[in-house]
Amino acid sequence: MTVSDVEHDAMRRALALARRGPRGVNPQVGAVILSPSGDILAEGWHHGAGTPHAEVDALSQLSPGQAHAATAVVTLEPCNHTGRTGPCSLALIDAGVARVIYGLDDPNPRASGGAERMRAAGLSVVGGVLADDGVAQLRDWLTVQELGRPHVTVKWAQSLDGRAAASDGTSQWITGPAARADVHRRRSEADAIIAGTGTVLADDPALTARTEDGGLYDHQPLPVVLGARATPDEAAVRRHPVPPLFVSDHDLHALLQTLRERGVQRVFVEGGPTVASAFVRAGLADEVLAYIAPVLLGGRRLALGDLGVDTIGDARRLTVASIDRLGDDLLVVANPEHTAPRSALGHPAAQKENA
């Protein structure tokens, strides 16, 4: 049993629908219901906590019996538990759906098992379809499910010889406008942005996400200032649209737990060499963004400090995900080997199905 081109197209549509839903504690999920002839009968997505899941949202648009013998295409395995809403797997069974195509296995043990329930009821079920796209779209939520903490991106800008600042401490601007615009776009996609008090006192950053014309993105990350030194009352970060969180405790695991409890899934660490090094040294960097400018500075102001690497065998190995040119600068995106993206949770490269 194979997955048709029409079903692949429906999965791409479901992934696009999923992005309409809010990012938060619950995953963004999309669903498309296909008729036996392959026409789209209904579409749905999860609109937020407490609302119908994507499958039920789509089914609600159909009249009784209209989903009989249909195919449901869903980005995440239909759930198998009762919370604020009932099990989506049961809703699909009761609607008379004959076939279910889904992207990722649900990693939450409380919600997983929907695929097996539907198979036991006689439905044809295929998992792992466009799983790489699903992992990329749900990376932050998956990190929370697997590791119990938000997904952490550590960013820095450096000269070609690895310096974050000149000998006198000046660092604005190492990179050019295109790189800075990319940083602000990524800030706007984060739930929280972390900077150390050293950076706040030296550079007085606003920690906002700004558009190229100087305006503010609609979504602004929660600014987090980490360190024992006091932040002046007149500091720019205190005028941030979102009230800042000031944290004097250097326990990064506790900080991430606090942020998770506040619904944060994506953390952007941009706080200078000390804070960046601390996250990398603690093994808490899931993604590294290194913006590299074609300038030479020399000196001792390295982009990263001590990582606890005393010998080459202890080096922090990374897997390069992409290298992009931004104006005159380069952006290298890399993942520590222990957090490199996988093809799919619980799936081999091939699709899993019942014949």
Contact 58, 20 (CB under 8 A): no
Backbone dihedral angles phi then psi of residue 240, each to the nearest 5 degrees? -60, 145
* Domain 144-339, CATH number (from 3.30.930.10, 3.40.50.720, 3.40.50.300, 3.40.430.10): 3.40.430.10
Distance, CA of 51 to CA of 43 (rounded, Å): 15
**CATH superfamily assigned to domain 5-137:** Cytidine Deaminase, domain 2 (3.40.140.10)
Dihedrals φ, ψ of 38, to 5°? 95, 5
Positions marked catalytic:
55
CB neighbours of residue 81 within 10 Å:
17
Which pTM value belongs to this model? 0.75
Cα-based distances in Å from 27 to 9, 31, 33, 75, 139? 21, 13, 19, 10, 10
Tokens of 340: 């490199």
Per-residue pLDDT of the chain (355 residues; tens, 9 = 90+): 689 999 999 999 999 999 998 876 788 999 999 999 999 999 999 998 788 999 999 999 999 999 999 999 999 999 988 776 779 999 999 999 999 999 999 887 777 889 999 999 999 999 999 999 999 889 888 888 888 899 999 999 999 999 988 887 777 788 999 999 999 999 998 999 999 998 898 889 999 999 988 899 999 999 999 998 999 999 999 999 999 999 998 899 999 999 988 889 899 998 788 999 999 999 999 999 999 999 998 988 899 988 888 889 888 889 998 999 999 999 999 998 755 444 334 433 333 333 3
Q: Where are the domains of the chain?
A: 5-137, 144-339
What is the secondary structure of 181-223 as a DSSP string?
HHHHHHHHH-SEEEEEHHHHHHH------B-TTS-B-SS-PEE
